[in-house]
Amino acid sequence: MAQRARGEIRAFGRTFVRNRLAVGGGIVVAILVVLAVLAPLLAPWDPNKPDTRRILTPPSSSHPLGTDQIGRDVLSRVLYGARVSLAVGFVSVGIATIIGILLGAAAGYHGGLVDAVITRVVDLMLVFPRFFLLLAVLAFLKPSIWTIMVVIGLSGWMGVARLVRAEFLTLREREFVVWSESIGASAARVVFRHILPNAMAPVLVAMTLGIPAAILTESGLSFLGLGVQPPYATWGNILTDGKDALEIAWWMTLYPGLAILITVLSYNLLGEGIRDALDPRLRQARVGRILRVGR
Amino acid sequence: MGPFLVRRLLVVVPLLIGITFVSFIVISLAPGGPLDFLEGESPDLSPEVKKQLTELYGLDKPLVVQYWSWLTRLARLDFGRSFLPDGKPVLTKIGERLPVTLLLNIVEMLIILAVAVPIGVLSAVRQGSSFDKVTTMFVFIGFATPDFWLALLLMSFFGAQLGWLPISGLRSMNWEYLSFWGQQLDFISHLALPIVVATFGGLAGFSRYMRQSMLEVVRQDYVQTARAKGLSEQVVIGKHALRNALLPVVTILGLSLPGLIGGSVIIESIFAIPGMGQLMVQSIYARDYPVVMGNLVVVAVLTLFANLFADIAYGFVDPRIRLGGRRGRR
């Protein structure tokens, strides 16, 4: 078993490395994580410190991406914004994945009434346009980075649940599962030890593609002023400031947007690469659906 | 067709009730109830508003009673009144905003279909060609571009720098003095940028689906058969393959509606278009809870019916679906 697993990982590695776009995406993602973690060391200025002598200065050698309306350094703010975006992406997708796995596994393993109820709940959640639902929830809660992570996670688990349920439905009929059940393995052991590990491939892909969707959502919420609140810099709220100075300070709009674009693009390339390498049979349509629903 | 329609319609009832239930949970989320939260946000809350709120939602009663009374009022299409000084009924407010949002979304969908289908078919038929590669690149960039950023860039370029297109609202100041055709042109020019922005992301997604769907279909035996009996490639692709490849796209069109409607929140806010999305954001800023809740319910119900419509349309064009009982959801 261990040897087979190692062989599979090696086969995965070979296919993945051949996909140059995916490798590129992975490298950019890694660089972004490093930049976000090291932001306090790398940022040339304090991201929240106003400087009234340098209001809306165009990019220069001391402020490579210019300054904003109250003289804060845009580069430092974009770097700190990366921390928020990546943290929200990771945590909210983590929450969504855990909920999705639990509900999807319950539905797929038990079938019957449990499955019927969970499937209906998934259908119900998908009827709400995600952005409207998020806005309605945020109208009643004090926005903070934690609230944002939780609500994005709570509104984004349906895709994972559907994937896991579909995997469980096919896996639970397979010989190795039936055998271990017949020799008296507990349900928990069968689910977590035998079925789940074999169902993780599409979940991994869904997670990689869910992070950029969460990042886009967070930046949209912050742009509307309903996400992470100032003075904390996020890519979305730098763009809000940029909107007010659109005609005089293009640098405030161009750079944070590019940061979002590059981040989301890299994650998507990485995710698609992982999917293709994991299992060529995993269809575009399936994971593509999640991507779409995620937005 | 009959039993199929009945099955589809029966699903709607529990979903409608579910929509009201989820929306109600959202109201009850506020710590200490919406009243406490409102008071914390605006300490100068007048006792009248408080009394109105308490009555409206029966806040002094148990949750179950609250939900039931809300539900019975919804059943009579009574969504309450706005908290704003105009005090209009929520449904009237939404009714004023709905046509613009619907218009935007329908136009978007038509454009997306008209452009994405040929792109998807061409890149599937010429898989691996430079056309395919360029469109794939476009798809990835389209997915990754935040719509509000694209909106800002286009506003700054076409609106502010070139001055070609208006960047906010639906009418120019001098609208009333324009000729009939001038007014139409003015309206269209106001919609141009929002529609371009809204179509951009969707276009990427749909051409991808279309390509994928087409790739699956051209591998099928009946396509080989059509080729083998000597039909021209044009007929094989345009008639035999395309018709079947379009089927799943119909469903996805319905499923993607929540995404499009959700997108109108940001687009309407940026371009100051008086639609439901803008109403939602304004109501949240103003803490106008009845309108927020009404909006949420109405948007979900709209999406539900759009999905239902897509489902029925799918069953209509594909007998396998309506006869096969359950639709194989991939």
β-bridge mates for residue A73, sequence order:
A67
Mean pLDDT of B225-243: 81
pLDDT (0 to 100) of residue A30: 94
Look-up of token digits 């006792």: B47
What's the complex ipTM? 0.83
Residue A292 has pLDDT above 60, yes or no: no
β-bridge mates for residue B89, sequence order:
B81
Query: Each residue of A48-91: pLDDT tens digit?
Result: 877 777 777 788 878 888 887 787 888 899 999 999 999 999 99
Question: Is B212 an interface residue toward A (CB < 8 Å)?
Answer: yes
Listed range (B80-84, B150-154, B197-201) with the worst mean pLDDT = B80-84
CB-CB contact of B263 with A131 (8 Å):
yes
How far apart, in Å, are the Cα atoms of B273 and each of B51, B166, B190, B291?
Answer: 34, 12, 9, 18
Cα A93 to Cα A97: distance, rounded to the nearest angstrom: 6
B292 or B3: which leads in pLDDT: B292
CB-CB contact of B293 with A136 (8 Å):
yes
Query: Each residue of A112-134: pLDDT tens digit?
Result: 899 999 999 998 998 888 888 89
Q: Cα angle at A165 between A160 and A167, to 5 degrees?
A: 95
Cα B33 to Cα B62: distance, rounded to the nearest angstrom: 12
Mean pLDDT of A208-220: 91
CB-CB contact of B292 with B304 (8 Å):
no
Tell which A residues from 79 to 138 touch B, by Cβ distance under 8 Å. Answer: 120-121, 123-133, 135-138
Half-sphere exposure of A268 (CA within 13 A, CB side): 27
| Pick from B144, B160, B266: CB nearest A220 | B266
Locate the chain A residue with the closest alpha carbon to B251. Answer: A289
Which chain A residues are closer than 8 Å to B13 by Cβ?
A: none
pLDDT (0 to 100) of residue B57: 63
- Run of H or E including B55: helix B47-57
- CB-based contact A123 B30, cutoff 8 Å: no
- CB-based contact B146 A140, cutoff 8 Å: no
A53 C-beta neighbours (distance < 10 Å), count: 8
Which chain A residues are closer than 8 Å to B280 by Cβ?
A: 132, 135-136
- CB-based contact B152 A125, cutoff 8 Å: no
pLDDT (0 to 100) of residue B35: 63
Question: Is B214 an interface residue toward A (CB < 8 Å)?
Answer: no
Look-up of token digits 């929509």: B19
Alpha carbon A143 to its chain centroid, in Å, reads 19
Query: Each residue of A132-181: pLDDT tens digit?
Result: 889 888 887 877 889 899 999 999 999 999 999 988 988 888 888 888 88
- pLDDT band of residue A282 (cuts 50, 70, 90) is very low
- pLDDT band of residue B5 (cuts 50, 70, 90) is confident
DSSP state of A57: P
* Dihedral sign for Cα atoms in the order B125, B129, B133, B138: negative
Question: Is B160 an interface residue toward A (CB < 8 Å)?
Answer: yes
SS (H, E, C) B64-87: HHHHHHHHHHHHCCCCCECCCCCC
Look-up of token digits 């309450």: B80
- CB-based contact A242 B152, cutoff 8 Å: yes
Mean pLDDT of A7-31: 84
Question: Is B252 an interface residue toward A (CB < 8 Å)?
Answer: yes
- CB-based contact B266 A257, cutoff 8 Å: no
Look-up of token digits 């998507």: A268
Residue A284 has pLDDT above 50, yes or no: no
A125 C-beta neighbours (distance < 10 Å), count: 20
- CB-based contact A136 B296, cutoff 8 Å: yes
DSSP state of B89: B
- CB-based contact A292 B252, cutoff 8 Å: yes
Share of chain B above pLDDT 70, in %: 88
| Pick from B147, B156, B205: CB nearest A292 | B205
Residue B294 has pLDDT above 60, yes or no: yes
DSSP state of B47: H
Query: Each residue of B254-267: pLDDT tens digit?
Result: 777 777 777 888 89
Which chain B residues are closer than 8 Å to A225 by Cβ?
A: 285
pLDDT (0 to 100) of residue B36: 63
- State the burial class of residue B59 (Cβ atoms within 10 Å of its Cβ: 0-12, 13-18, 19+): middle
- CB-based contact A140 B29, cutoff 8 Å: yes
